[in-house]
Structure 1
Amino acid sequence: MQSDDKPVSGQQNPNSPSFLDLLDQMPPPPATGPDKDSGTNLAQLRAAWNASWEQGGFLHGRWEELRQVPQAGWHGMANWIKAVLILTGMCAVIILLDTAGDIFDAALNRLADAVPATQVGTSATGEFWGVVDNPIRTYIAQHTAGLPVSGAAIYIFWQATGLFGLIGGFIGATGARLTWTCWGAATASVVWTTTPADGRTVATAIAVLAWTIASTAALRGLSLRPFININNFPPPAPAFQPQIEIRPEIHIPAPAPAPDDDAPDNVHPFQR
């Protein structure tokens, strides 16, 4: 019989009382004196805390779910543990991307300082990002005049779509990888369309190269080689080996004895 504190297939037991329910069900202990209200509340809180850690309590059930994570695996753990792990992973990826951007910006600035003749602005990363970002902003401003949504909202949606494709593709979601592919192709097309003819080729090349560099994370583990499952094919036929000689054995029955001329014709062997 399944107890109340053990999850079944990663789902929370609906019969397990919550901490607030236990707090409401606790009868108030008798108290006297001017501080009886504060003492009553503290006693109820302590009693509810102790009850939630008993067998079948809310906190006891959550602790059992945490304890069973190594044996349950990803598919068997509770849903709230999956949500916490996913949010923690997304925050870690965002922090890593922000740190990597700062490191890349510092490296480009050092490279720009080493070659003073090529210095045009104050931030090399901002210049490269402006090659892709400015055409996007211009294209959105030119083609959102008759829409019920503002250009700023569409620009934020464009950024959120790229971030979703990058993070979801890194996790391995197929839909996120398709979104990342379409997002990169649309971005390169907009840069080619909006950039003036003199710098159109260079701007599109920068956009495509930046998108392919980021695709190493978004398309991580994706292979173009076909996967062949050998279990679906019948077993191979045995190879013919001519060196093995099979000689059939032919048994020739012995000839019947010749009839005796002296024996009478009316004599026959006894048959059962």
Structure 2
Amino acid sequence: MLSQNIPYTDLTFFDLLAALIVLVAGIVLAKILTGMFKNGLKKTELPELVAEFLSRFVLALMYVAVILATVSTLGPDISSVVVGLSAVIGLVLGFGLQDTLTNIAAGVWLATLRPFDKGEYVSVTGYSGSVNAVGFMATELLTPDNKIITIPNKVIWGSAIENATRMPTRRVDVNVGISYDTKLDQAIQVAMDLMKGNSMVLADPAPAVVTTELADSSVNLQLRAWANTSDYWGVKGDLTNGILKAYKEAGIEIPFPQMDVHLDKE
């Protein structure tokens, strides 16, 4: 049975079975070796993002080796397979090689120059999320609501990248409006007391309150407090909730937009 030829080819079923075994065994071996390589990189001082990129690069090379080994197992007379592969490769070279090489080169630069590391929160091309991985062709971002966003490397490399977590500290801005009848000095003092009373707000740089706009229905203030990057959202929530409560207790009005409509009777 296994020695019989496959219709329209000079290959036997045994050749096909042997090639399948080589393919499966090669894939398993490639993953094991890549895992060992990745574990070895963890013992070095390489950033996690670089180690992840190198591991994917090695895995891709091993997959190429496995494919070549699988094809060679089929024997010397595999002209039809070669023709098929040549057609596929020709299409890839004709339509996608330029973009492919650009994405790979951009991925190398991203992993080398590291405008972001794995786990850092970035905004690029209108998308935001934590860096999950940098692959050959694309970078993966993980959004706060657990969605994966895949962006081509060349797009990222050619765009402005905003890294929100690279620096150890960040400034927390909270906007609030007060009535024009409110004593400005009192409102500023209440906000300053709120920020200074928060243990996560840093004393240096010192917190501040600035007037940002004289709007139609309110005088708009901005609370500016510095905090450790890891405490950013905690401080943001505390100050947002706290200023509402503090102003209510102090009798300071936070107005809402109003419109006076006058009807003239003809």
TM (normalized to structure 2)?
0.24
Larger-Rg structure? 1
TM (norm. structure 1) is 0.24
More helix by share: 1
